[in-house]
Structure 1
Amino acid sequence: MSVSLYYTALRTEPLTASEAASVTRIIAAHAASFPYEDEESLYVYEQADGDRGQILAGSTKMPFEPGRLLPVIAHVLDSVTELRRALDGADWRVHMDDLDVPWDESEGYVLPGMRDADLMAELGGL
């Protein structure tokens, strides 16, 4: 059984050309800095016409290896935070299966312990 992180942005106005370029830049930058070649990173779906205001959506399958979990969660949530800040006026939902990930204006999307160095070391992470 796998766990995935899902992210969706809704807004009545479609992406502007500038926003679309920002999304492309953010995705490329975060893909280049992702810590594991063999794990799934930020994945944004192609948008079809008529998606009822959905301007961005994607998902990331979380790794099974405990030592890789926190670095992947932190990297992907940092990416989604940057995407949210680039897309003004959108309503966002970010969740890991049934668990909503809270938004914090100063920190962005975070989960408790995701940057805890001691916990990462205990799990065998980076």
Structure 2
Amino acid sequence: MARVGVSLYYTARRAAPLTGAELTVIGQVVDTCNENAPFSRDEEGLYLYDRLEPGTVLDGSTKLPAADDRAVPSLVHWLAAVTALRNAVPDADWTFTLDDYEIEWDDHTGYHLPGLAD
């Protein structure tokens, strides 16, 4: 039986639109993280949506690989990638989930899941 894939969803909301400098940094984060992904040729990377609701400055998703041996290294990589996105737009109200499970922000470590990197 094939395992159903899960996805990460990330959203940043604030009243002020992104600045040119923020857009530049976000573009660099997306390019760098997608190029350096553990399985970049085979898997989906950071995907930012073009259509945003009012008050949303960044919205995107990343589908994790279904294969167990790829899921954990990919998840570790994408947690760091979304941490970098959040650091590029720190004054927004962020939501980050693994499907329906909310991933908590830590001011010292960013986004992580306990025991994942062990």
TM-score > 0.5, shorter chain as reference: yes
Q: How does 1:48-67 map to 2 (within 5 A)?
A: 48=52, 51-67=53-69
1:56 partner SS = strand
- Between 1:11-20 and 1:26-35, the stretch displaced more is 26-35
Alpha-carbon offset, residue 97 of structure 1: 1.2
Letter in 2 for 1:90: A
1:57-96 Cα offsets, whole Å, 9 max, x none, are: 1111111111111111111110110110111310000001
2:47 partner SS = coil
Q: Tell whether 2:43 aligns with 1:39.
A: yes
Q: Tell whether 2:9 aligns with 1:2.
A: no
Letter in 1 for 2:114: P
Could you tell me whether the CA contact under 8 Å between 1:8 and 1:94 is conserved in 2?
yes
Aligned partners of 1:4, 1:38: CA distance in 2, in Å?
15
1:72 to 71, 74, 82: 74
Give the alignment's Cα RMSD to 1 decimal.
1.1
Larger radius of gyration: 1
Alpha-carbon offset, residue 6 of structure 1: 0.4
State percent identity of aligned pairs: 42
Aligned length: 114
Alpha-carbon offset, residue 47 of structure 1: 3.7
1:26 partner SS = helix
Gaps of 5+ in 1: 117-126
Aligned partners of 1:3, 1:34: CA distance in 2, in Å?
17
Runs of 4+ in 1 over 4 A off after TM superposition: none
